[in-house]
Chain A
């Protein structure tokens, strides 16, 4: 077979023209947008879509949008009972502006707003140095942020002590609730997840089985059912006549759920630590507690920081589900405001949802960027 084919070319090809310079703008466009005829078609279609949608979108969001107004008439067209020209369509930011405080704090008494604001200031003040790797005293910072702050915030927000007015949790709402639930979920799920992960890798069959059943059961069901369980069943499980705060029940539900997911992330880290590390710690005569806290866990957690942050992001998004057990987090309160007669217009829901989506997006995108930053930083550590 091979004899019939000649692989050797007997004469030179015509030399091709020198390739176009990549550095020129035209060269860049050619290389990146019109490299082949398929690419060209795709680029043109994409370009057409962008030119079709973006101006309309910008127009809807900004140009045609209504920025000021006291009630729904500001965002209604003439035939709907307002003053805007017929056929008008645009965002109704006036409604978001009118409801902004409610979206942030729910029905928290307006004259007590300094309390959540103070908590926010403390939170930001502690969080920023915690996130910047160069700032020293991480241990103290973590203690303040994860232990002291929640306690202070608890008394400050709920009140009833030190002469502060008692503010029931049923008045809490908005972004404040979203942040509190996710922060508590984070603070609880990390240690609980570590314990569950260690339990799952334990050699004791009873402990191991208990942890596996718990983790797999919770991970196998939707958060809604866990929330329903916390909100409907928990009171039945406790002593007759108990009266657990609804907010606390949501916190318990979210924490249980987050712990199970966190446990699996941490377990991934534990599994990635070479056996030699465990054996070396054993050889040094460390007991289990010391082995884990000084040798294994610091390495394992460092390995899975991106996974942990992803779990946080997921948890932050999942807090929106508490709407379904009728609590008013950011999404819940925005949605509840759609039914308010003062602002019923065809564009209200879309405006409100875009606002809520933007807030959620900022937080989640920020977290994912930070996670990417940490990942890059840790990568460097391994290169020598």
Chain B
């Protein structure tokens, strides 16, 4: 076995398929290799991480990856995507295969502490919901006792599901799948009555159904699912860049800076905006973060502000048509709030 591993190592080095030397920190490593390796959803979750037939990626999580690349390199195309299943995602980040995990991943205390990741930015506030066929005539999740529920294994969803039914003294029959598309197919074939995952996911999956109008998402949201990018622990420089790439998008929306008007806004008299866009003469914000001075400008140019990204990927401008709701700015009753850029 050990010999094999040695052989594998040598083989990998010879083949040049990777196996680079240990890195000091992710930022140095990313700069050295010239691109950001981003772990994204491998099962085509429309609105978050999906690939079209030409192989182009789009989605809220993809925008975040692009934003990070734009901040570091000033070029949003310097991203490579690793499609991951729910099962692969954590080992992939732990092993260093990817630099950021942006795969609609829920921030929870155990993942933050036990798995050795860092979360802070939340690019989508989600919650777990249920989808049923309309013909069942179910109006509430509390009427679901005895139902068969399709769920993806190894997710927080699976745990919440068990807890929800238990705490409401209901029973259910889990039908567990490795991959989301398997669960989709099983729900579609009538193997189960109910499909459960994050509400945003349900909307996206409903779109994939042969007849989306036959299905409805029940009103109950049974969990808090703050979805956000994760990086490895103890790498605060990289963590700061990833976190602030998201906050820059939110801040841009707060300031009213859009993809279209960003060049104009550079000339703004507002000192906060000037500082944010790197126009203040002696600003060291970019340098302190470890990125070029105009990092925020590059992010906004690449993906727009958070509102624009949201509308384009999951909001009214997309087939998903999800309302801003919790994901609105804090000034408009939502939870998206950027710390001051100062």
**Physical contact A–B (CB less than 8 Å):** yes
| Smallest beta-carbon distance A106→chain B, Å | 10
How far does the alpha carbon of A17 sit from the alpha carbon of B188 in the complex, in Å?
Answer: 68
Give every chain A residue within 8 A of B342 (Cβ-Cβ): none
Give every chain B residue within 8 A of A217 (Cβ-Cβ): 1
Give every chain A residue within 8 A of B55 (Cβ-Cβ): 107, 109, 171
Indicate which residue in B17, B80, B185, B210 contacts A248 across the interface (CB closer than 8 Å). B17
How far does the alpha carbon of A339 sit from the alpha carbon of B207 in the complex, in Å?
Answer: 12
How far does the alpha carbon of A377 sit from the alpha carbon of B80 in the complex, in Å?
Answer: 52
Give every chain B residue within 8 A of A256 (Cβ-Cβ): 1, 4
Contact of A297 with B by CB under 8 A: no
Q: Take A168-B80, A243-B97 as given contacts and tell me if A339 and B17 are in contact as well, using a CB distance cutoff of 8 Å.
A: no
Which chain A residues numbered 155 to 190 have a C-beta less than 8 Å away from chain B? 158, 168-171
Contact of B340 with A by CB under 8 A: no
Indicate which residue in B4, B19, B181 contacts A238 across the interface (CB closer than 8 Å). B19
Q: Once the chains bind, are A242 and B1 in contact (CB under 8 Å)?
A: no
Chain-A contact segment, one of B8-16, B69-77, B141-149, B191-199? B8-16
Give every chain A residue within 8 A of B82 (Cβ-Cβ): 170, 246
Contact of B20 with A by CB under 8 A: yes
Q: How many residues of B contact A (CB 8 A)?
A: 49
How far does the alpha carbon of A109 sit from the alpha carbon of B185 in the complex, in Å?
Answer: 28
Give every chain B residue within 8 A of A326 (Cβ-Cβ): 42, 83-85, 87-88, 179
Contact of A364 with B by CB under 8 A: no
Contact of A91 with B by CB under 8 A: no
Give every chain B residue within 8 A of A237 (Cβ-Cβ): 5
Contact of B209 with A by CB under 8 A: yes
Contact of A139 with B by CB under 8 A: no
Closest to B23 in A: A241
Give every chain B residue within 8 A of A56 (Cβ-Cβ): none
How far does the alpha carbon of A238 sit from the alpha carbon of B12 in the complex, in Å?
Answer: 11
Contact of B184 with A by CB under 8 A: yes
Q: Once the chains bind, are B18 and A244 in contact (CB under 8 Å)?
A: yes
| Smallest beta-carbon distance B151→chain A, Å | 16
Contact of B21 with A by CB under 8 A: yes
| Smallest beta-carbon distance A241→chain B, Å | 4
Q: How many interface residues does chain A have, given as a range?
A: 35 or more
| Smallest beta-carbon distance A39→chain B, Å | 43
Give every chain B residue within 8 A of A236 (Cβ-Cβ): 91, 94-95
| Smallest beta-carbon distance B174→chain A, Å | 20
Give every chain A residue within 8 A of B97 (Cβ-Cβ): 235, 243-244, 246
| Smallest beta-carbon distance B296→chain A, Å | 29
Give every chain A residue within 8 A of B17 (Cβ-Cβ): 158, 169, 244-245, 247-248
Contact of A232 with B by CB under 8 A: yes
How far does the alpha carbon of A210 sit from the alpha carbon of B1 in the complex, in Å?
Answer: 9
| Smallest beta-carbon distance B213→chain A, Å | 11
How far does the alpha carbon of A377 sit from the alpha carbon of B42 in the complex, in Å?
Answer: 49
Contact of B315 with A by CB under 8 A: no
Q: Once the chains bind, are A245 and B18 in contact (CB under 8 Å)?
A: yes
Q: Take A240-B22, A339-B185, A344-B188 as given contacts and tell me if A248 and B96 are in contact as well, using a CB distance cutoff of 8 Å.
A: no
How far does the alpha carbon of A107 sit from the alpha carbon of B95 in the complex, in Å?
Answer: 26
Indicate which residue in B21, B44, B51 contacts A239 across the interface (CB closer than 8 Å). B21
Closest to B95 in A: A235
Closest to B5 in A: A237
Work out how many contacts link A and B, with CB atoms closer than 8 A.
114
How far does the alpha carbon of A240 sit from the alpha carbon of B116 in the complex, in Å?
Answer: 14
Residue with the greatest number of chain B CB neighbours at <10 A, chosen from A168, A237, A247: A237
Contact of A43 with B by CB under 8 A: no
Indicate which residue in A109, A232, A325, A341 contacts B210 across the interface (CB closer than 8 Å). A341
Q: Once the chains bind, are A241 and B22 in contact (CB under 8 Å)?
A: yes
Give every chain B residue within 8 A of A158 (Cβ-Cβ): 17
| Smallest beta-carbon distance B123→chain A, Å | 23
Contact of B316 with A by CB under 8 A: no
Contact of B311 with A by CB under 8 A: no
Q: Once the chains bind, are B207 and A240 in contact (CB under 8 Å)?
A: no
How far does the alpha carbon of A324 sit from the alpha carbon of B182 in the complex, in Å?
Answer: 12
Closest to A338 in B: B185
Give every chain B residue within 8 A of A234 (Cβ-Cβ): 5, 8
Contact of A225 with B by CB under 8 A: no
How far does the alpha carbon of A210 sit from the alpha carbon of B2 in the complex, in Å?
Answer: 10
Bitwise, A318-349 to B at CB < 8 A (1) or not (0) is 00000011100000000110110100111001
| Smallest beta-carbon distance B201→chain A, Å | 13
Which chain B residues numbered 304 to 325 have a C-beta less than 8 Å away from chain A? none
Closest to A240 in B: B22
Contact of A351 with B by CB under 8 A: no
How far does the alpha carbon of A237 sit from the alpha carbon of B189 in the complex, in Å?
Answer: 42
| Smallest beta-carbon distance A334→chain B, Å | 12
Give every chain B residue within 8 A of A345 (Cβ-Cβ): 210
Q: Once the chains bind, are B96 and A235 in contact (CB under 8 Å)?
A: yes
Contact of A72 with B by CB under 8 A: yes
Closest to A169 in B: B17
Q: Once the chains bind, are A232 and B181 in contact (CB under 8 Å)?
A: no
Which chain A residues numbered 114 to 162 have a C-beta less than 8 Å away from chain B? 154, 158
Contact of A81 with B by CB under 8 A: yes
Give every chain B residue within 8 A of A168 (Cβ-Cβ): 80
Give every chain A residue within 8 A of B207 (Cβ-Cβ): 341
Contact of A252 with B by CB under 8 A: yes
Bitwise, A224-238 to B at CB < 8 A (1) or not (0) is 000000011011111
Give every chain A residue within 8 A of B9 (Cβ-Cβ): 238
Extra 19 A-B pairs, beta carbons < 8 Å, given A248-B17, A248-B18, A326-B84: A80-B210, A158-B17, A169-B17, A210-B3, A235-B91, A240-B22, A242-B95, A243-B95, A243-B97, A244-B19, A244-B97, A245-B12, A256-B4, A326-B87, A326-B179, A344-B185, A345-B210, A346-B189, A349-B185
- 16 A-B pairs with CB atoms under 8 Å apart are A72-B210, A76-B210, A109-B55, A217-B1, A235-B91, A243-B37, A246-B97, A247-B17, A248-B15, A252-B4, A256-B1, A326-B42, A326-B85, A341-B209, A344-B188, A344-B209
Give the 3 A-B residue pairs with the shortest CB-CB distance, closest first: A235-B95, A339-B181, A245-B17
Q: Show the binding face of B for A, using Cβ within 8 Å.
A: 1, 3-5, 8-9, 11-12, 15, 17-23, 29, 37, 42-44, 51, 55, 80-85, 87-88, 91, 94-97, 178-179, 181-182, 184-185, 188-189, 207-211
